[in-house]
Chains A and B, each alone.
Chain A
Amino acid sequence: MTSVSSVIDDLAGLDTEDFSQPKEFPLMPLGQAVDMGHADDGTPLIDPRIFNSPEFFRNPYPYYRILRDHYPVYHDKLHNTYWVTRYDDITECYFDDEGFNTIPKGSSSGVLGNTQLELSGIEHRRRRTLYGQHLVGESLKNRIPAIQHLATEMIDDWDRAAEEGSEYVIDKDGVRTVELGMMFANEFPIRVVCEVLGFPKESQDDFYYWYNSMMSGLGGSDTHKVGLEARQHLEDYVESMVEARRIEPTYLYDLEGNPVSKDIITKLCETKIDGDYLSTEEITSNIALVVGGGGETTRGAILNMWYLLLQAPDQFAAVCADDGLWDLAFHETLRHSSSIGGQPRHNSFDIEMHGVKIPAGSLMQMVDFSANHDERIFKDPETFDIFREDLYSGKILRSGFRKEGRCSHMAFGVGPHLCPGAWISHQEAVEGSKILKQRLKNPRINEERTPKDIDGKFAPTGIISVRGLWLDYDLT
Chain B
Amino acid sequence: MASATINAPVAGRNGVVIAQRPKTTGPGYRTYEIHQRERVGESTEKIKPTQLISPAYRRDPYPLVEVLRENYPCFRDWASNCYWVTQYDDVTSIYADDANFESRSKLWYYGIEDFGRDLRDEIPVLEAQARRIDGFAESVANDLVDQFDAHSANLATEFAARYPLELLAKVLGLPADDVGEFAGRYWRAQRGTSWEPTLQVDGRRALDELVDYFEALLQARRSSPGDDMISAIAGLELADGPATARDLAVTVLEGDHQTLHGALANMWFLLLTHHDEFTKATSERRLLKLAYLETLRHSTPVLSAQRFARHEVERFGRLIPEGGLMICSAAAANRDPRIFDDPDSFVVDRKDLCQREPRGMYRADGLASGVTFGLGKPSKHPAVPEDRPRSLYAITRDTAVTASSVLLERLEGLKLEPGATPYLTSLLLGEMHTCWKLPVHFNKRS
Contact = CB atoms under 8 A, between A and B. Distances in A.
B49 interface: yes
Contact of B179 (A4, A76, A88, A123): A4
A8 B186 CA distance: 12
A239 interface: no
B161 to A, nearest CB: 5
Contact of B79 (A4, A39, A45, A220): A220
Contact of B81 (A75, A81, A114, A349): A81
A349 B22 contact: yes
B157 A104 contact: no
A353 interface: yes
Nearest to B194: A77
A397 to B, nearest CB: 19
Contact of A2 (B31, B76, B180): B180
A350 interface: yes
A111 B41 contact: yes
Interface residues of B, number: 82
Contacts of A109: 40-41
A229 B45 CA distance: 11
B30 A101 contact: yes
A131 to B, nearest CB: 15
Contact of B59 (A20, A120, A353): A20
Contact of B78 (A52, A110, A118, A351): A110
B216 interface: no
Given A224-B43, A357-B111, A37 B198 contact: yes
Contact of A80 (B49, B80, B428): B80
A5 B22 CA distance: 54
Interface stretch (B10-18, B123-131, B412-420): B10-18
B198 A45 contact: yes
B243 interface: no
A104 B437 CA distance: 46
Contacts of B18: 99, 349-352
Interface string B165-183: 1100000000001011101
A7 B179 CA distance: 11
B22 to A, nearest CB: 7
B81 A363 contact: yes
Contact of B17 (A14, A111, A219, A353): A353
Contacts of A123: 28, 30-32
Contacts of A15: 425, 427, 436-437
A387 to B, nearest CB: 29
Contacts of B5: none
B76 A351 contact: no
B181 A110 contact: no
Interface of A: 1-9, 11-12, 14-15, 19-22, 36-37, 39-40, 45-48, 52, 75-81, 86, 88-89, 92, 98-99, 101, 103-107, 109-114, 118-123, 218-220, 222, 224-225, 228-229, 231, 281, 346, 348-357, 359-363
Given A11-B187, A120-B28, 4 more contacts: A37-B197, A39-B201, A77-B109, A88-B14
